[in-house]
Amino acid sequence: EVQLVESGGGLVQPGGSLRLSCAASGFTFSSSVMTWVRQAPGKGLEWVSGLSGSIDSAFYADSVKGRFTISRDISKTTLYLQMNSLRAEDTAIYYCARWLVTAIPHWGQGTLVTVSS
Amino acid sequence: EIVLTQSPATLSLSPGERATLSCRASQSVSSYLAWYQQKPGQAPRLLIYDASNRAAGIPARFSGSGSGTDFTLTISSLEPEDFAVYYCQQRSNWPLALTFGGGTKVEIK
């Protein structure tokens, strides 16, 4: 069974940093395309970042480019999202997900990030 | 950048009725379109991928159709558990990215 468990969310001041983690199990993590999707309170879904399998190329939405970094630790089967220079508009539930070709069949339960002073 | 526009924003229907949700892309996405269902407090659940293929465990009352720029999600007969928000999503090849539509809320009339 595929499991994705996020952690690391919380309250952070504007301009601060936070690192999200996503522990993965039940599939071949090293070769899977992984992604982060977020959802602001009461709003729709927004793709944030993706990490391709094998070659580990990273891709970002324009809204987070230069501030967020996606990475993975294969030995720990864990996906990360390092978030720097956080803004109020980054406040959202962040979902870790496994991306299979054209869609996302597996999602974590999400972790809430609140950026506020 | 491809934009996905979903309509209507809200659909008010009764259990047993047929629901027809639309997703229009600003340019062709071939058949690379997926649909998700999201209930309050839950992560999205994949319903349909590649425009018309039901994901594992999804009931047959859910069906998808379309190609190019116009897509439809149909729920043939609404069950109480189907009242939720539905999102469409497409994948861009280069740069690799995902785009979601704004969502359609299916509510009880």
Q: How confident is the model at residue A4 (pLDDT cuts 50, 70, 90)?
A: very high
Check CB contact under 8 Å for B55 and A105: yes
**What was the pLDDT predicted at B26?**
96
Please check the confidence at residue B106 and state whether its pLDDT lies above 80: yes
Q: Which residue of A has its CA nearest to B31?
A: A102
| Model confidence at A56: pLDDT above 80 | no
pLDDT averaged over every residue in chain A = 95
Residues of A in contact with B39 (CB under 8 A): none
Whether the CB of B2 is below 8 Å from some CB of chain A: the reply is no
Question: What is the per-residue pLDDT for B96?
Answer: 83
What are the pLDDT digits (tens) for B13-69? Answer: 999 999 999 999 999 999 999 999 999 999 999 999 999 999 999 999 999 999 999
How many Cα atoms sit within 13 Å of A84 on the Cβ side?
6
Rg (Cα) of chain A, in Å, rounded?
13
Residue type, A91: T
| Structure confidence at residue B92 (pLDDT) | 86
